[in-house]
Structure 1
């Protein structure tokens, strides 16, 4: 279940949305216009929230969580409780009922440069977000937080600062890529699930990028082309760490590093160096 997505709004398919401010966070107009529905969402105590900035591993983590819930068997179509709810909302916009019910949340954070590149390609493909424009234009808007879902910096810092106030497991995309078994075991422990060794190995395999890229339940190939044209770019494109090196110019990298230091230099949140 995706918290801030309304698939019944079919008129979305005929135009790219405009961005509107939602409590100072740039968001697609279809989210803002239907905000009361999201804001008033009633969470249940055993709901599990997965939150990421867009294109930072939310689909990947949902697959891992689903597989853990089903002991390595792919999730059946009809979701039973506990519900797994995915969102790209920053911490301040999450419906209060999640915290009133003391729900658990898993956060996946991806380094800013790869997030930028992946989000640019997603904008090229998905008609639920505005046109990205040229790479150099999107690059600047991303740094300034003027893209759909707002500032990457505010998003990751907000969730990081909340991790000691709520039942939050904060994970890094790069760590999952480096050692999926280790991170899957962290998720299982957080979910209070004990897994047999053969189940762990099955989950590692089924949640690998190679397998998920060919899984219609994960690769979004069942989504109509008027919503997501994957002839332009696959939803599951590369899943790599460091792909930004194929996009950033030397000058852009220098500008980004300088801006990043101003935004993140005083935060205790540290991403591994992607140089």
Structure 2
């Protein structure tokens, strides 16, 4: 079965979306979270699969039968409804593992209310805007379920305008940051911190989740989630997903901080920085574009 043509963006409750994330909306909004569910929330291409795989190894690393399934099956994508696959909500309702690990890219205001009612733990990962834009661009080039990206210059303008699937990066990262200030069950991680010291961020994650893995287990997880190891691992790198065209670009490309320097011209960087300053001036949220 072939995918239909690439989807078109449209405005949905004030957020740019495609039908793959809105066609099942009532079922998504009525989704019944459980108190032990763990939600992994990110803007696209900000380390979602990385954190998903860390959590999968922490909770289910020893269960080998579980291990032989790709990460996108083990950590279902809540709002996704796409040809070739059952709806994310349905997959989650049929998951037998506990806790359920759940992936979402929804901005904070669109999250189903049962996650708040059940006081679920939420791990949010944010990545600096420049690297995030570059990663998203290459992802959109190779992912047939994303809108046509066009050239880099136009794409960057679209990113600045928030005309991306799941809306504005600026609104997304600040929306979740603000909610964290009043909600104790949100751990807000930075992609750059994870690259800089994976062990330290792993400790923060374990502390937040109330886990006490042995030093040996922690080393095993750390080794398993190194970028080069995940890139080679067919259970983590999305190579078994027919929607992704690896001839154009791998799903896991570089995983570095500062790769934006290989894409932005000086003029683009200056324009972006000026726009960024305006949009982020009212938040305490700070990102590093190099480490």
TM-score (norm 1): 0.92
Give me the whole-angstrom Cα distance separating, in 1, the residues matched to 2:156 and 2:5: 23
Matching of residue 111 in structure 1 with residue 128 in structure 2: yes
**CA contact 1:28–1:128 (8 Å) conserved in 2:** no
Q: What displacement does 1:273 show?
A: 4.5
Give me the whole-angstrom Cα distance separating, in 2, the residues matched to 1:73 and 1:249: 47
Counterpart in 1 of 2:50?
Answer: 60
Q: What displacement does 1:158 show?
A: 0.4
Q: Which stretches in structure 1 are left out of the alignment for 5+ residues? A: 1-9
Between the two proteins, the alignment pairs up a number of residues equal to: 263
After superposition, residues 141-220 of structure 1 pair within 5 angstroms as: 141-166=158-183, 167-220=185-238
- SS of 1:164's partner is helix
Give me the whole-angstrom Cα distance separating, in 1, the residues matched to 2:175 and 2:63: 34
Q: Which stretches in structure 2 are left out of the alignment for 5+ residues? A: 70-94
Q: Which among 209, 230, 233 is matched to residue 249 of structure 2?
A: 233
Give me the whole-angstrom Cα distance separating, in 2, the residues matched to 1:32 and 1:137: 25
Give me the whole-angstrom Cα distance separating, in 1, the residues matched to 2:179 and 2:170: 14
Matching of residue 17 in structure 1 with residue 35 in structure 2: no
After superposition, residues 248-267 of structure 1 pair within 5 angstroms as: 248-267=264-283
Matching of residue 33 in structure 1 with residue 23 in structure 2: yes
Q: What displacement does 1:272 show?
A: 2.0
Give me the whole-angstrom Cα distance separating, in 1, the residues matched to 2:10 and 2:267: 31
After superposition, residues 53-132 of structure 1 pair within 5 angstroms as: 53-70=43-60, 75-76=66-67, 77=69, 79-132=96-149
Counterpart in 2 of 1:3?
Answer: none
TM-score (norm 2): 0.87
- SS of 2:194's partner is helix
Give me the whole-angstrom Cα distance separating, in 2, the residues matched to 1:119 and 1:73: 33
Give me the whole-angstrom Cα distance separating, in 2, the residues matched to 1:109 and 1:219: 20
Give me the whole-angstrom Cα distance separating, in 1, the residues matched to 2:99 and 2:155: 38
Matching of residue 50 in structure 1 with residue 40 in structure 2: yes
Q: What displacement does 1:14 show?
A: 2.1
Give me the whole-angstrom Cα distance separating, in 2, the residues matched to 1:141 and 1:157: 19
Q: What displacement does 1:70 show?
A: 2.9
Give me the whole-angstrom Cα distance separating, in 2, the residues matched to 1:272 and 1:118: 16
Q: 1:113 to 1:273 in 2, by over 3 A?
A: closer
